[in-house]
Amino acid sequence: MFLQGQKVGKYEILRSLGSGGFGSVYLARDTWLDIKVAIKVPHKQSTELYKLLKEPRLQAALNHPNIVKVLAAEKEKDVFFMVMEYVKGKSLEKILEKEKILDCERASDIIKQIAYGVDHAHKNKIIHRDLRPSNILISEEGTVKITDFGTSAWLNSSQYASTRIGSPPYMAPEQFMGKASYSSDIYSIGCIFYEMLVGRPPIFDPDPFKILEKAQQGRVTPPRLKNMKIPKAIDALIMKCLAPKVEDRIQSAAEIIRELSKIKGKEEKNGQLEDIFIRIKAREQRQTTLCWNCHRPLPYKAKVCPYCGENV
């Protein structure tokens, strides 16, 4: 819709950043402030402004380091667009296309940051409904940012959002039925975690109805069976996020954060214990000197043999 070098109000279009099902995103320069920004132009340019303002208003209600910040919503020559912070980096989708599988520590850190952002959104009564690798940006410094709230919804008085929408490989069973809730985002987080460690989503099929059927029946192969490097605790956490029934699932993003912190704490504690054992073993290995008189092993740095009393 916009061309490189085109001026749109005070914004100069630098290049296209990509296009999705709901809009196109461009890298632009704010000529007044001399900063780079991301501009999102919805494909559907409705004449009803309140419909266009739904996404920017919803995203602007969130202020968190793990969520892309909305800077403005504008309209120039009948073209409505959103202005957002520009995240210099790559989407998780692009990273996975190149690296296929991430190590457990890196994947856990990414999930923890996603969970922080989701927890903030849920506390503000907002569900994302389309959490997937393409909507997760990772800056060059390693900061994870959730973007694209085009399918998100406010849950003010209702328990769930009734519109059936999302990306099938990352959708919870109830989301297919038009009953997306906070727990549906937890399921999506589990799908992303699974994909980072295994190389593909837990249920992958071109037919959405087959995905729904398998999801409802809980026909998910535990990730550890596909990648034995995954710790049992991480495997259990992912499977609990992917429980087909909402009541059996991890109940909040905050709980994911707590579980990951607990797992990391145990790993660090085990690492410290291992270090202690290595030191003990090293000391034992030093005790190889024998007494010249009775030929028994001497304690480390001993000056007198404790067995025969001879000076050594």
pTM of structure: 0.83
Concatenate the DSSP letters of all residues of 206-242 into one string: S-HHHHHHHHHTT----HHHH-TTS-HHHHHHHHHHT
The residues carrying an active-site annotation are 130
Start-end of H helices in 245-311: 253-286
Are 167 and 150 in contact, with CB atoms under 8 Å apart?
no
pLDDT of 281 over the 70 cut: no
Q: What's the mean pLDDT in 56-76?
A: 95
Closest CA to 41 of 65, 64, 17, 62: 17
How would you class 43 by CB atoms within 10 Å of its CB: exposed for 0-12, middle for 13-18, buried for 19 or more? exposed
Token reading at 109: 């850190």
Instruction: Tell me the C-alpha distance between 217 and 211, whole Å.
Output: 10
pLDDT of 179 over the 70 cut: yes
Q: Outline where DSSP puts E strands in the chain.
A: 7-8, 11-19, 23-30, 35-42, 70-76, 79-85, 89-91, 126-127, 136-139, 144-146, 153-154
Predicted confidence band of residue 181 (pLDDT cuts 50, 70, 90): very high
pLDDT single digits (tens) 195-205: 999 999 999 99
Other CB atoms within 10 A of residue 303 CB: 8
Are 275 and 282 in contact, with CB atoms under 8 Å apart?
no
pLDDT single digits (tens) 24-59: 999 999 999 999 999 999 988 887 888 889 899 999
Q: What's the mean pLDDT in 63-85?
A: 95
Q: What's the mean pLDDT in 205-211?
A: 92
- What's the pLDDT score for residue 198? 97
Token reading at 47: 């004449």
pLDDT single digits (tens) 152-166: 887 865 666 656 678
More confident residue, 260 or 272: 260
- What's the pLDDT score for residue 150? 84
* Structural domains of the chain sorted by starting position, each given as residue range(s) with its CATH number in brackets: 7-85 (3.30.200.20), 89-263 (1.10.510.10)
Instruction: Tell me the C-alpha distance between 70 and 36, whole Å.
Output: 13
